[in-house]
Amino acid sequence: MSTPPVPASSDSSAQWVDEIFDGVRYGLAGRVIAEQQSPFQRVTIIESERYGKGLLLDGCWMTAERQERHYHEALVHPALCGAERIERVLVIGGGDGGTARECLRHTGVQHLDMVEIDGLVVKWSQEHLPSIGAGCWSDPRFHLTVGDGIAWVREAEAASYDVVIVDGSDPAGPAEGLFNRAFFEHCRRILRPGGVFATQSESPEAFREVHLATVRLLREVFGHADPLYGWVPMYPSGWWSWTFAAVDGPRYRDAQPERAAGVAAGCEIWSPRWQSGAFEAVPAFVERALADGG
Ligand code: SPD
């Protein structure tokens, strides 16, 4: 039986805007304010009641003004506080600017390349979500290339970055190639000794197999890789992960105090204490699956 649409609130223009995944809806009350098919994906900007303006790609939640810190702080600071040096940073994806913004809060970063495939994501993030990228767009250390991040990594010189961060969407469409062995091997090749790699690694609940496969593969390619668990309430299941990898040991697990002190006061979620707990919060089923190799 079909049910009539339910107004999201007393504001008659508000509707539910949902990501529908595996029989579950993850929705915000709000309204679509811009939508367009780019050469790569459907880009949607909404104005939500609870979390401010937000971005969806192909109907999947990417970010929102009043929730993005859960995601960007968790992705960036374990890497930037763990690498031996942080002069040169590469961000693949990240077109809303939030990852670059958090990286550039570290004064030790001298040069940041960001390679985002979809120019419309950058343009609309600058226009509609300016608080997310904030000062990154005009920071002289920031260098944006609208292009293919997979090709960039393939063509980059060996040992040319201290930190490589992948801020992509789910492994379908333009982000599919950001989860495979060849891509991770190039990321390892372009890291300097003492470098750290970081990627969003999906939900241990909603994307269980992708999550496990990503952690296993990163361990094989880098030698050391560990997932960190947190929450992004608008994403499928709300339970999210980021995985960090390094060649010379799990240096991403312990935040260097001086670097941490430089950014912690400006964080909403991340702190060295939160990070320690989040690396320890490995669900039992993940621990078993990774130990079994099964
Ligand atoms: N299922 C959503 C995964 C999205 C990861 N990237 C978000 C982009 C935020 N900068």
Give residues (CB < 6 A) around ligand 1: 60-63, 71, 94, 96, 98-99, 167, 169-170, 200, 235
Ligand 1, atom 5: closest residue by C-alpha: 169
Query: What is the signed CA dihedral for 62, 214, 90, 258, rounded to 10 degrees?
Result: 90
pLDDT value at residue 6: 54
Higher pLDDT, 144 or 293: 144
What's the CA-to-centroid distance between 237 and ligand 1, angstroms?
14
Which residues make Cβ contacts (< 8 Å) with residue 280, sequence separation at least 6?
Answer: none
Provide the pLDDT confidence category of residue 2 given band limits of 50, 70 and 90: very low
Q: Hey, how many other C-beta atoms are within 10 angstroms of the C-beta on 172?
A: 11
- Pocket probe for ligand 1: among 43, 62, 117, the residue whose CB has the most ligand atoms within 8 Å is 62
pLDDT in tens, 206-250: 999 999 999 999 999 999 999 999 999 999 999 999 999 999 999
Rounded CA gap, 212 and 204, in Å? 8
| Residue partners of 250: CB distance under 8 A and separation at least 6 | 224, 226, 244
Ligand 1: residue whose CA is nearest its atom 4: 169
- Could you read off the pLDDT of 166-187 as tens digits, one per residue? 999 988 878 888 989 999 999 9
Helices 208-222 and 284-292, axial angle in degrees (round to 10)? 50
Q: Is the pLDDT assigned to residue 3 strictly greater than 50?
A: no
Which of 126, 200, 210, 235 should be mutated for ligand 1, with most atoms under 8 A from CB?
A: 200
Residue 146 gets the label, from left (phi > 0), alpha (psi -120 to 50) or beta, of beta
What is the rounded CA–CA span in Å between residue 43 and residue 55? 7
Kindly give the residue spans of alpha helices, DSSP state H, lying in 175-271. 181-190, 208-222, 257-263
Question: Catalytic amino acids?
Answer: 167
> 21: CA distance to ligand 1 center in Å?
15
Candidates 43, 51, 55, 71: which one to mutate for ligand 1, based on the most atoms within 8 Å of Cβ? Answer: 71
From the CA of 1, how far away is ligand 1's center (Å)? 34
Beta-bridge partner residues of 227: 243
pTM: 0.95
